[in-house]
Every structure is written in structure tokens, then in C-alpha cells.
Amino acid sequence: TPEQVPERYHERSPINFVQNVKGRLMIVQGMQDPNVTPENVRTVADALQREGVEYELLAFEDEGHGISRPKNQKTLYLRLQEFFKSAFSAQ
């Protein structure tokens, strides 16, 4: 638990290292996700903004932990295609 080994939890929590993010970042969120909640994503997004890290957020209201609905998968893959095309053409 975090109380027993706080340093281990700190080392493994990405929120503590957003200043190290390099390049482009896309966050994909299922708004019904019980594991990575919308509040978790807001916390990371706020930290990224404070550090001046650019990111894109793609949220799906009707998804949980994983994007499983075909219509959402199509949207996700098209957005990923655009994201990678833009990211790699900028180099």
C-alpha cells in the first residue's frame, strides 16, 4: 500500500514525472473507466499544462478501461492515424 512503501508508489506514478515528457502525447480516456477515472485524467492534464507539455485528449463517454465499441474504435484509429502522421511529419 502507499502507506507501507510510499517511495515505491511515488516512483511508479507518472504524475510525478510529467516534466520529463518529450514529444507529442495523446491521452485516450473511457469516461466510464473505474481504474483510470476522469478525475485521474484531469489531474494529469492539469500537471501537463503546468509544465507546458502539449497533449491531445480523446474521451469516449460510453467506454470503460479499453475502447471496445466498433464505432469508437474507428474514431480512435482514425485519430491515431492523424496524430502519428502529424507527429512524424513534424520531425
CATH classification at residue 45: 3.40.50
Tell me how many domains the chain contains.
Answer: 1
pLDDT of res. 39: 95
Residues 83, 61: Cα–Cα separation, whole Å: 21
Q: What angle do CA 48, 34, 67 make, to 5 degrees?
A: 80
- Residue 65: the pLDDT is 96
pLDDT of the residue at 91: 56
- Asked if residue 37 belongs to a domain, the reply is yes
pLDDT at 1: 86
Q: Is the pLDDT of residue 2 over 70?
A: yes
Residue-wise pLDDT tens digits, 59-82: 999 999 999 999 999 999 999 999
* pTM, rounded to two decimals: 0.83
Q: What does the pLDDT look like over 24-54, one tens digit per residue? A: 899 999 999 999 999 999 999 999 999 999 9
Tell me the residue range of the domain where 25 lies. 6-89
